[in-house]
Structure 1
Amino acid sequence: MPADLSAATLARVPERMRPRARPGGAATAAGAGAAPGIVHLGPGAFHRAHQAVHTEDATAASGDDRWGILGVAPRSTGVVDRLAAQDCLYSLTEAGARGRSTRVVGALTATLALTRDRPEVVAAIASPHTRIVTLTITEDGYTGGDAVTVLADGLLARLAAGATPVALVSCDNVRNRDQVLRRAVDAAAARLEPGRRRALAEFVAGAVTFPGSVVDRITPAATDRDAALASAALGVRDAAAVVTEPYSSWVLTDDFPGGRPRWEDAGVTFAADVEPFERLKLRVLNAAHSALAYLGGPAGHRTIAAAAGDPRLLALVRRMVHDEVAPALAAHGTPVADTRHYLDTVLGRFANPHLPHTTAQVARDGSRKLPVRILDTITELRRAGTMPDAATSVVAAWIRTVRNPVSDDGGPLAVVDPLLSRGVLADPGRATAAEFLRLLTADGDGALAADEEFLALLDARVRELDRHGTAAVLG
């Protein structure tokens, strides 16, 4: 049986697979190593496939080793415990059309668990060595849980220690994530007693920035087979292996008052405004993902890769983006050719057979995802006098699945959605298309829910799917 990955066994790993840099020197557990420049809340697979890799590559390119990352687990301790046992080392496997490429990443210099190391986490956020705090805590983490609360406590401790500037960067797949994070910090401050609330508000206004950020890298959970293949390539056993695609994108606004890694040397794009990038990703990549999930799952495709290989589904997705999304984005200044080229890239990524992203996983939380992925496009086209047929079919497919979670061949479909868990609909199976639409547009201006012509098409499309399955819209 091979030895476990660690600093002591790193020499057994082929040289080409060893870390490209070790920011801050040797890594340790429990925050005992060199002071990190970045504290990250939520060191799950996505962070370790994305921000950590860009940071290590920037360090290797620039030689600036001040940017080690302290990984903090907000809830469960499994990931950080496994990382700590490996001196914070882990493997990253990029799997694509050209096969697999594995490397060891050494960007993490220490780990902590919020549930048992809270004072140390607060101290790390307060440290003058920490110039950046990044977060991947999922959408729910900004409205519940302890991550934002400890962030506010750390900022207050930072103020007490001398108030050096710091940048807070949300790297979650949440719309307007910089604003979401700022509001979450403000909400945490509002729960403080008046004096501390005032002090924190003044500090945030004067010394804390919230750079815009758009992230993109498909990173499913690693399987036992992925871990075994990574271990075989390395010659040592890795209990924290990550598998991802070759593609990676990160767009940031350059608002880092305490400094930052030279991420531009590692493929990161800096822009004055990330909104166009976010809009393109939401309405092309995320919308296509949802279309393949809500139509591909009922059609019998277990994975996104399988759905992306179905010519009927591809035709609908292309029609949706070419005929509906592209004109809507053009009104915002995105050239139609750019949108179509991006779609081609996206569909190639979705077809990657090495990434077992299931349609059921992508289909989760549709009531949160559809408004920004699909309904914004529909709303804008309706204002322009156009009826978006393909996008309407995607919304109808989601409604049909929630009302009757059965595939075309009679098998059960898993439905995970806050709309159901919170009892918003007493009886989803009997709810009308109009009721679903009102729920999806509850945070909007209400125009789409009052659009009788669109509602008639949506209702008809749901009925067609009920009677004939996905063939009703795929042909």
Structure 2
Amino acid sequence: MNVATDTARRATAAAPRLARGGAPRPPVRIIHLGIGHFFRAHQAWYTAHAADGADWGIAAFTGRSTALADALEDQDGLFTLVERDADGDRLEVVSSIAEARPGSDVVRLAELAADPRVAVITLTVTESGYRLRPDGTPDPDDAPLAADVVELRSDAVPRSPQTAVGRLLLALDARRLAGAGPIAVVSCDNIPGNGTFLRAGALAIAEQVDPALAEWMRDAVSFVSTSVDRITPHVAVDPAELEAAGWSDAAPVVTEPFADWVLEGGFPAGRPQWEAGGARFVDDIEPWEHRKLWLLNGAHSLLAFAGLVRGIETVAEATADPACRIAVEAFWAEAVDVLPAGVEHVRYRERLLERFENPRIEHRLAQIAAEATVKVQFRFAAVAERTLAAGRMPEESARAIAAWIDWVLAHGGRPEAPDARGEEVARAAASADPTAALVALVSAPLAASPAFLDLVRAARTEPSDSETAHAAPLA
């Protein structure tokens, strides 16, 4: 149901908590791993807007905390989505979550996965949250993944993997053993070719756990790649706003009005009619994911690195800063030159600026700066590599990488933002030539190019004397 904010309504101190009022919850046909703001503003919203959404309930599992699952269960899985633009808010109650469970409830996860009515497993995982190497293969030095392999091999009842991929494999193995039929796994993250990436990692780990599981997965599991796009910062909602609309909510979500979802891959057991909410199904997702990763996510990261060192805190403030905005538009001009032919980007960039300028979203740069190393790899280095391959010098992506390096070194090599590769970053920052060492973390080909390294050094705010000594002499 959609409810427009009516400021003329009288707020009540005892507004009722969201509830279905005796109406049944939708039947569970989707499992989701990773309850969070983005999942609820995106996949849960698209499912609620599907033409047959009433037939596709979602059982959503948290990563670690139980608090959000408890809050959602207390209000029958319902939550308020606040679409916030410069002119005001639009409130909508989203009803697609049929169950909210803590991630540790692996018994319920396996039980649902073994139900043939369940047709889709979706995931929202950060780039580093998969705990896989850049090519999608498992990292043999990753202790939690190694522990999950031991756990999944064991005869323990129940087996209790802790990582996202480990829990996914637990669910798939339960489905295999139950003979429940094929299923689609849908990655909803910012990794290029995310379905292919996850398939490679999941199969490699499954081979270590049980080759029979891996063989079944090759035949019965479709890994769907997606491009997901909806700016959803972690910001609070004024309880009075919901009370004015007639209810209270312990788990509201704020997002922007814009939403986009592009998917590539098969759904052997069926899927919701997400097209009714605007989702698009394509034969080749690469052009769409590159447009989104480089133009939206790339701009976000560049605004974060360039803005934070200037004392700027939000995307809207950074977009209004002339130096930050010029840097973004210059990077975009270089990025669109390596987009596949025919991909519309002029109107997309215009709309991005409108979205970034929305002052009421309060998208904080410190949040965007998390997991910076892998983001730089996919958002800046990818553009630079393609520009070099096309026979041009990637001056603007070099400037973007330089902004990241300046931000890293401004914090002594240890920015406060979480980063799974933080120790590697710190060691590179402490080396004799931090520019070359940090570039090597995100791209071996770029680090092997003296001309590119010189571009980065030239763009650095204050390269050290030792770095200057490494630069090639001027002709």
Partner Cα distance (2:290, 2:257) in 1? 22
Look up the match of 1:328. Answer: 338
Letter in 2 for 1:433: T
Q: What is the TM-score with the length of structure 2 in the denominator? A: 0.83
Distance change in 2, residues 1:191/1:76 (3 Å): farther
Look up the match of 1:147. Answer: 164
Partner Cα distance (2:346, 2:203) in 1? 39
| Alpha-carbon contact 1:298-1:413 (below 8 Å) kept | no
Q: How far off is 1:209 after superposition?
A: 0.6
2:289 to 261, 278, 281: 278
5 Å matches for 1:297-446?
A: 297-322=308-333, 324-329=334-339, 332-335=340-343, 338-405=344-411, 414-421=416-423, 425=427, 428=430, 431-441=433-443, 446=444
Within the alignment, does 1:113 sit opposite 2:102 as a pair? yes
Partner Cα distance (1:51, 1:137) in 2? 13
Look up the match of 1:13. Answer: none
User: Aligned-residue CA RMSD in angstroms?
Assistant: 2.4
Letter in 2 for 1:397: A
| Alpha-carbon contact 1:163-1:207 (below 8 Å) kept | no
Q: Secondary structure at the match of 1:114?
A: coil
Q: Secondary structure at the match of 1:294?
A: helix
| Alpha-carbon contact 1:214-1:250 (below 8 Å) kept | yes
Q: How far off is 1:455 after superposition?
A: 1.2
1:125 to 113, 120, 130: 113
Letter in 2 for 1:2: A
Look up the match of 1:160. Answer: 177
Post-superposition Cα deviations, 1:321-380, rounded to whole Å, max 9, x if no partner, equal 12x112122xx3245xx2232111111111111111111221222211112111121122
5 Å matches for 1:199-348?
A: 199-223=212-236, 226-322=237-333, 324-329=334-339, 332-335=340-343, 338-348=344-354
Q: How far off is 1:208 after superposition?
A: 1.2
5 Å matches for 1:19-34?
A: 26-27=24-25
Percent sequence identity over aligned pairs: 36
Q: How far off is 1:253 after superposition?
A: 1.9
Q: How far off is 1:124 after superposition?
A: 0.5
Q: How far off is 1:423 after superposition?
A: 6.5
Q: How far off is 1:421 after superposition?
A: 3.6
Partner Cα distance (2:452, 2:366) in 1? 27
Distance change in 2, residues 1:393/1:247 (3 Å): same
Partner Cα distance (1:429, 1:2) in 2? 60
Letter in 2 for 1:459: R
Letter in 2 for 1:42: G
Post-superposition Cα deviations, 1:164-216, rounded to whole Å, max 9, x if no partner, equal 11111111222221022212321331232xxxx23212321222111121111
Look up the match of 2:135. Answer: none
Partner Cα distance (1:167, 1:69) in 2? 14
5 Å matches for 1:170-181?
A: 170-181=187-198
Q: Secondary structure at the match of 1:418?
A: coil
Distance change in 2, residues 1:466/1:92 (3 Å): farther
Partner Cα distance (1:203, 1:290) in 2? 39
Q: How far off is 1:139 after superposition?
A: 2.8
Post-superposition Cα deviations, 1:139-167, rounded to whole Å, max 9, x if no partner, equal 33322443322322222222222231111
Q: How far off is 1:286 after superposition?
A: 1.2
Partner Cα distance (1:188, 1:388) in 2? 37
Greater CA deviation, 268-277 or 387-396? 387-396
| Alpha-carbon contact 1:287-1:374 (below 8 Å) kept | yes
Q: Secondary structure at the match of 1:84?
A: helix
Post-superposition Cα deviations, 1:412-456, rounded to whole Å, max 9, x if no partner, equal 974443343456516538652111111221xxxx33212212211
Partner Cα distance (1:149, 1:87) in 2? 28
| Alpha-carbon contact 2:223-2:265 (below 8 Å) kept | no
Greater CA deviation, 376-385 or 72-81? 376-385
1:134 to 122, 125, 134: 122
Partner Cα distance (1:400, 1:241) in 2? 37
Q: Secondary structure at the match of 1:122?
A: helix
| Alpha-carbon contact 2:190-2:293 (below 8 Å) kept | no
Q: How far off is 1:9 after superposition?
A: 6.5
Distance change in 2, residues 1:292/1:146 (3 Å): closer
| Alpha-carbon contact 1:317-1:390 (below 8 Å) kept | no
Q: How far off is 1:391 after superposition?
A: 2.2
| Alpha-carbon contact 1:125-1:154 (below 8 Å) kept | yes
2:79 to 69, 90, 115: 90
Distance change in 2, residues 1:204/1:419 (3 Å): closer
Unaligned runs of 5+ residues in structure 2 are: 1-12, 132-144, 146-161, 466-475
Partner Cα distance (1:418, 1:147) in 2? 15
Post-superposition Cα deviations, 1:207-263, rounded to whole Å, max 9, x if no partner, equal 21111211111111132xx14254234322211000000000000125111111111
Q: How far off is 1:465 after superposition?
A: 7.3
Greater CA deviation, 240-249 or 36-45? 36-45
Letter in 1 for 2:373: S
| Alpha-carbon contact 1:102-1:230 (below 8 Å) kept | no
Letter in 2 for 1:102: L
Q: How far off is 1:109 after superposition?
A: 0.8
Distance change in 2, residues 1:262/1:4 (3 Å): same
| Alpha-carbon contact 1:126-1:154 (below 8 Å) kept | yes
5 Å matches for 1:36-55?
A: 36-55=28-47
